[in-house]
Chains A and B, each alone.
Chain A
């Protein structure tokens, strides 16, 4: 099954906790899971100030600058993972350095 892994900053994080045990350097993480066929796609994305929101309301197109919800301000990247199940996806996510420096969210694809 496929998972969208959202990579976010965590403003409430304890900055003094820099224990990276169990994680890989980001370049090594990408290489490892690209080679394993687990990471199908992924990238960093620009911060909220460069986001654009697009909506249609009563037929009218509305384009606004900025994110559409406060929580989105903190998204800094994403990866698409192909895993057997949630346990495997958790293992992959647990090795990502942003599991320490931020937070990761796994969203399964609907189909």
Chain B
């Protein structure tokens, strides 16, 4: 039903250019199905039934709309809707394009990020306005207004309903992936909406389905699945558990298997999501923390740094070198980062130093760094976690 909803909404938006009408017509058709199917039996082709019913409903509304009618007639919406019989309804070739058009339109760079996320969740994922409002921690009426403004802006700013040209595709695709990944990370940012992570994964699967040849799309899904697979192991009794100490039997095997199956087709150059996915997958492949292929992880961080220099990635690479070679080698690299302005005032550097110093057996120094890290940690949870680790050092 959810999949059919998206197909029908996407094609109705193309023919009518009226987002609310499209969503209302489909909701109306679904309601009718709930009323009539139990009574009359499920039609031979439920998808075609839903499509035709929604199209008829849209047509009724357009015909009754009076003043708006001339404008819509200009677009040929009426004619096109009338011509679309049951045959067109099951011709998924065209409709698949409509779903992609809808995704790229909802994630257009001329929309504010917040509007992109809200539109994608509401129109593509099919969440209720109330559910989207909850994600943004605003009231339903406020979100309803924001969605209305976003839809108006699509029409008024001249945002086209199309898949970008090949030349613009990589950049525009990045924008789409950023929206999906933001929804995913929101699911983990607060305890407020863990279902958002599942919603993002569903969106990820849809994108893989629509763009099977785009490796960054596959990589994003793999990355999300790899992180999501560890959800039951990373939080035990309200405390965060680091990867090293997680009970790997708690990892979601199905999610792990799906993530591992989303490998890169041969002959491609890995993009940023692929490199991040490979990092996560390398951890997933290790049966025990001691089996982790740290040399591979060092390589992956180095390739990420080539593409996108960042002090946090440098820090992670230093930790990985500390694991792959020796704590001393990692500490040496961390020393190079000590003066980096972006890391000042953060707990990341002292926490990393504390960990490698402890591994090197330099307990006194490790304790001092741990105290610095605790003083700088941004959340109570992280302070507690570091505190417990510190107490474990003796």
Contacts and interface: CB of A to CB of B under 8 A. Distances in A.
Interface of A: 1, 3, 83-87, 89-90, 108
Contacts, number: 24
Contacts of A86: 108, 110, 157-160
Interface of B: 108, 110, 156-160, 162, 164, 168
B160 A85 contact: yes
11 contacts: A85-B159, A85-B162, A86-B108, A86-B159, A86-B160, A87-B159, A87-B160, A87-B164, A87-B168, A108-B157, A108-B158
Given A86-B158, A86-B159, A87-B159, 18 more contacts: A1-B158, A3-B158, A84-B160, A85-B159, A85-B160, A85-B162, A86-B108, A86-B110, A86-B157, A86-B160, A87-B160, A87-B164, A87-B168, A89-B158, A90-B110, A108-B156, A108-B157, A108-B158
Contacts of A3: 158
For the complex of A and B, the 4 pairs showing the least CB-CB separation, nearest first, are A85-B160, A86-B158, A108-B158, A85-B158
A86 B160 CA distance: 7
Contacts of B156: 108
The residue among A3, A83, A87 with the most chain B CB atoms within 10 A of its own CB is A87
Secondary structure of the B side of the interface? loop
A108 B157 CA distance: 6
A12 to B, nearest CB: 20
Contacts of A83: 158
Nearest to B168: A87
Nearest to A84: B160
B167 to A, nearest CB: 9
Contacts of B158: 1, 3, 83, 85-86, 89, 108
Nearest to B167: A91
Contacts of A85: 158-160, 162
Nearest to A1: B158
A83 B158 CA distance: 10
Contacts of A1: 158
Contacts of A84: 160
A85 B110 CA distance: 12
A105 to B, nearest CB: 12
A106 B168 CA distance: 19
A108 B159 CA distance: 11
A87 B276 CA distance: 31
A15 B276 CA distance: 35
Contacts of B157: 86, 108
A90 B160 CA distance: 12
A84 B160 CA distance: 8
Contacts of B159: 85-87
A89 B168 CA distance: 14
A84 B162 CA distance: 12
A83 B159 CA distance: 12
Between A1, A83, A86, A108, the greatest number of chain B beta carbons within 10 A of the residue's beta carbon is seen for A86
A3 B162 CA distance: 19
Please indicate which of the listed interface residues B108, B158, B162, B168 has the most CB atoms of chain A within 10 Å of its own CB. Answer: B158
Contacts of B110: 86, 90
Contacts of B168: 87
Contacts of A108: 156-158
A89 B160 CA distance: 11
A84 to B, nearest CB: 7
Nearest to B155: A108
A86 B159 CA distance: 5
A90 B159 CA distance: 10
